[in-house]
A and B are shown apart, each in its own frame.
Chain A
Amino acid sequence: MYNYSDFDEAFVRARVAQFRGQVERRLDGSLSEEEFRPLRLMNGLYLQLHAYMLRVAIPYGTLRSDQMRQLAMIADRWDKGYGHFTTRQNIQFNWPKLTDVPDILGALADVQMHAIQTSGNCIRNVTADHFAGAAADEVADPRPVAELIRQWSTDHAEFQFLPRKFKIAITGAAADRAVIRAHDIGLQIVREGDQIGYRVLVGGGLGRTPLIGQVIRAFLPKADLLPYLEAIVATYNLLGRRDNKYKARIKITVFENGIEAFRAATEAEFARIRPEFTGVDQDILAGIEAQFAPPAFRNTDPAPFAAALAVDPLLRAWAERSLAPHKRDNHAIVTVSLKAHGATPGDATSDQMRVLADLADRYGYGELRISHEQNVILPHVAKADLPNVHAELLRAGLATANVGLLSDIIACPGMDYCALATARSIPVAQGLATHFKAIGLEDEIGKLKIKISGCINACGHHHVGHIGILGLDRAGVENYQITLGGDGSEQAAIGERAGPGFAYDEVIPAIERLLRAYLALRQSRGESFIDAYRRLGPAPFKAALYPQEARDAA
């Protein structure tokens, strides 16, 4: 895993000192609140509904065990003993005091972490496939290049005051676990003959105008990446709209100008910028790649795991949901659900963080990952160790066997924390999870992605949920719109609004009608909700959601 160079170390320390100075200058009046705002935002500090919120980057979702322990320490010392993992591989602390924040940033720097550019109209924390470096299906580990992009974009002089925020995601596999098609720039590492390069998408995004990213370059040679990214962002910086923040994202720039015109402008800029890059970045990338060399995998016999599976139904149920194929046959990728039924999706207490760090040290080569689906991953676990890992997770209350199921819900913080929210999200997620567990249908329903946003900004990715729930405010009353058929994977699709919204207490019954209809309509247990929806179209599902209208029409 990546270790800071002397350059990185000096940079983050200087940055902490700058922010300490900015806080002092805000307090003495040198900086107005309006001027301080973007400066605190580009250091991860928001002003929320009840307090400041500090958003800490977990670059490309990768954490070492000592870093996880430090997050637990920060939660205990400066917050309320918990943190919230977000859909962009960050962790949010909801209750820091402004004057403590420079010290928190210092504590992060002690373990090579930071909160730089986790907010603001700049290039945000680069996200990556949470199975990177472990997945059986990847062409190459995307984390080294994500680190290269992190370095390039950090404090980039030209791109700190873009028209709007800018998000880049990268995957090294055809299976898209990083939602690259819903990012300002999506990158997929691809191989053409013996050459490694990138498929580059631009202009995806959710929010109030959801759009799927379009291919701007089908194959970009590896060495051209930074100048090409720079050309895209420079083109956007000049061309992007600044008259209306709701039309300022690059997806609108691409949509209004057309992909051909945007591509032409980008390619012309690329031709100008490319000669400025001498190739040193590729030497630096090679050094980064060496640091991401896989750990020395232990060569243990997986037979004890198979034997335990045969006799332990709890282990079997957990393994069926929580494990993904590892590139080594005798290892597995373990997803630890942070979605216990009734809990807040993505929240982890400091005790849970320490348990996970200890497990990573004992069984996982000290490595952890955070997924955009708000779970924690142990990317490399020898199969022989899985029974022990499961037993320890059970003791810690972290063995919920619901990964990929109905209750593995993405939900934004919503009205419980967020200043922008128009409705609650967390209680809807909690209510759905506990209800379907109580009626015993969760396992029967099988694979399903429900995603909930508490406002039009769509932090909960509702547009790409198989079932999306969007909470709005209708004359002071919460109202929830349901979208169907969205997909955040390589088969990306924007969900279609099913019809009129539902009151808060009508949401769970509506989802139950919808899913009972699915159970009645599916061809077999193997046909998931999204597959059935694709085969049948929206009509039978809308009829289940709106039985009165269906009767009236009949």
Chain B
Amino acid sequence: MSVIVRDDGFHPEDWDGPITDLAPDTDPAALPALADGTGLIRIAFPAFSDGRGFTLARRLRAAGFAGRLRAAGHVLADQYAMARRSGFDEVEIPADLAARQPADQWQARADWGRHDYRARLKG
């Protein structure tokens, strides 16, 4: 069972609509066509060290995607702020990771909107 992480902590899966899955090596040229959707787009993080998903998320948002955006896989609590700032709404993690990094470790970064240099410089 995976766990869905949001600013207010852990949740069980609560999405029952269709899901569009994107791999980290998705051709960015394909993103504008996906941006009109209103469903859930889930971007895979096969390894926490693979940061492509952050750029894909930011570009989807820049292209106008207004649906739900989820980072799924090996994402660390320490990366929660990065995921949220890049445009993700939530993170989906496997149960063993949720056990090792419980909700309080994720909620420690629920203040992701603070101390954000890039947001301050962009205006």
Q: Which residues of A come within 8 Å of B, CB atoms? A: 7, 10-11, 14-15, 18, 21-22, 25, 29-31, 35, 38-39, 121, 148, 151-152, 154-162, 226, 234, 237-238, 242, 272-273, 276-281, 284
Interface contact A157-B54, CB-CB below 8 Å: yes
> What secondary structure prevails in chain B residues at the interface with A?
helix
Query: Can you give 13 A-B contacts (C-beta < 8 A)?
Result: A21-B108, A22-B78, A30-B100, A151-B121, A152-B117, A156-B117, A157-B58, A159-B54, A160-B51, A161-B79, A226-B121, A273-B62, A280-B122
Nearest chain B residue, comparing its CB with the CB of A8: B117
Interface contact A281-B54, CB-CB below 8 Å: no
Interface contact A121-B55, CB-CB below 8 Å: no
Across-interface contacts of B118 in A (CB, < 8 A):
152, 156-157
Interface contact A14-B117, CB-CB below 8 Å: no
Interface contact A278-B50, CB-CB below 8 Å: no
Most chain A CB inside 10 Å of its own CB: which residue of B49, B84, B86: B49
Contact with A along B78-109 (1 / 0, CB 8 A): 11011111100000000000001100010010
Residues of B in contact, count (CB < 8 Å) = 35
Give the docked Cα–Cα distance between A39 and B109 (Å). Answer: 15
Across-interface contacts of A237 in B (CB, < 8 A):
51-52, 54-55
Q: Which of B84, B100, B115 contacts A10 (CB 8 A)?
A: B115
Across-interface contacts of B76 in A (CB, < 8 A):
31, 35, 39
List 16 additional contacts besides A242-B52, A280-B122; criterion CB under 8 Å.
A10-B114, A11-B117, A22-B78, A29-B100, A30-B100, A151-B117, A152-B117, A152-B118, A154-B117, A155-B116, A157-B116, A160-B82, A226-B121, A238-B28, A238-B56, A280-B120
Nearest CB of A to B31, in Å: 10
Nearest chain A residue, comparing its CB with the CB of B82: A157
Nearest chain A residue, comparing its CB with the CB of B48: A35
Interface contact A38-B49, CB-CB below 8 Å: yes
Give the docked Cα–Cα distance between A337 and B86 (Å). Answer: 45
> Is B123 interfacial (CB-CB < 8 Å)?
yes
Give the docked Cα–Cα distance between A38 and B49 (Å). Answer: 8
Give the docked Cα–Cα distance between A226 and B82 (Å). Answer: 19
Give the docked Cα–Cα distance between A523 and B85 (Å). Answer: 62
Across-interface contacts of A281 in B (CB, < 8 A):
121-123
Give the docked Cα–Cα distance between A355 and B50 (Å). Answer: 45
Nearest chain A residue, comparing its CB with the CB of B85: A157
Contact (A162, B121) CB under 8 Å given A29-B100, A272-B62: no
Contact (A277, B122) CB under 8 Å given A22-B78, A39-B78, A158-B55: yes
Interface contact A161-B54, CB-CB below 8 Å: yes
Interface contact A121-B120, CB-CB below 8 Å: no
Across-interface contacts of A234 in B (CB, < 8 A):
55, 58-59
Interface contact B117-A278, CB-CB below 8 Å: no
Contact (A280, B48) CB under 8 Å given A25-B105, A39-B78: no
Nearest CB of B to A44, in Å: 16
